[in-house]
Structure 1
């Protein structure tokens, strides 16, 4: 026969705790950021069918993860769902924004995309039923950042996506940079990605470029510093006196 629960332990409460711990606000924030980044990367490749399709495949993988997370949320504790997706409803709207702004090229019937859409529709219905749905009050970008190496090698393909913090969907931002980027490097005006392929044999001294993202609510800027040249060797050392030096990169 099944063992009775231990004194002071309520099975239903344990189950509720397990459902609440199945997904966290930070986990949802991470999925939102990945969705926005992947959507921005797809938009940045509008001029290349091959790259655009590849970016779409990457986006659909993240949509599958988002769908699975939402299905856990919908099958779990509604109070926890309200805590995570309610309030200013920013997490809900960030997901909805990706669905509303991305146009798929070859995967309109993909189960991950359609399952993601169906799940977010259900989340919206629940928030409205609970009286928690709020229109998105889009604020200014609070902080933008890039992971930029100190040297970009001539002839190498460059893809440097922007990371944005704040209640501002990427599709509503406009981007600019000053001074102009080196030849054959481009700042995408809708996604903020720095991309291109510096010309082989052409070097550009180290310089600082100010990238600005703005919308109707405000703007944020960040400085990025790099040179276009082959990276020099670093950490030069000798293994043994009298032997030739070994370069460590």
Structure 2
């Protein structure tokens, strides 16, 4: 999309420049503004194809959890998902996968899938530095490979994409999965009304973004898991079924070595 938009902007600049050279700057300026804003819209797919929702046409959604695993929250979540027989995908950081390999193994042994969420979860700087971006992604692939897992899906921190990301992902055998429904919970720093916010927005074929990072205290962790319980119950009341992410998108999330 970026390439096509750039060509249109350039063509418009030539046509307008024939009338008045000052007008030629308008489409080019708009294109540059669009390039600057596009990374912050997770569903845009401006620079390269991005999966942000399903295409089943069914009353199904996929639940995804970012930023983990974490010993304070992930085991509780896994128990709840097992009790409710709900599948999920965990986009984990390489740093935490290295710290908590048993949690990664538990996630997979319970039938869930694991994706790459960068190594350090550097929100912004790595997206403008190709070498750093490559290390963040490749180091996470290596950390998970040591556990017998090869992610095929990558979720950028905060969903931010960049022009340089496509080549790095291709080199590592990855594609991007973002999301179409989130509660803006700031990585579990804002968990009040989490269920209410998700259930008010969620629609069929949504990829739902949540987090299994530590909520900050035992009391807040208990509050968080109750919110997740409400979300699962609310999805059922809305007639929505949580399915594996691969079922929603038609693409595998990971493979085992």
TM-score in terms of structure 1 length: 0.27
Greater RCO, 1 or 2 (C-alpha within 8 Å, sep 6+): 2
**Bigger proportion of residues as helix:** 2
Greater Rg by CA: 1
TM-score in terms of structure 2 length: 0.26
**Bigger proportion of residues as strand:** 1
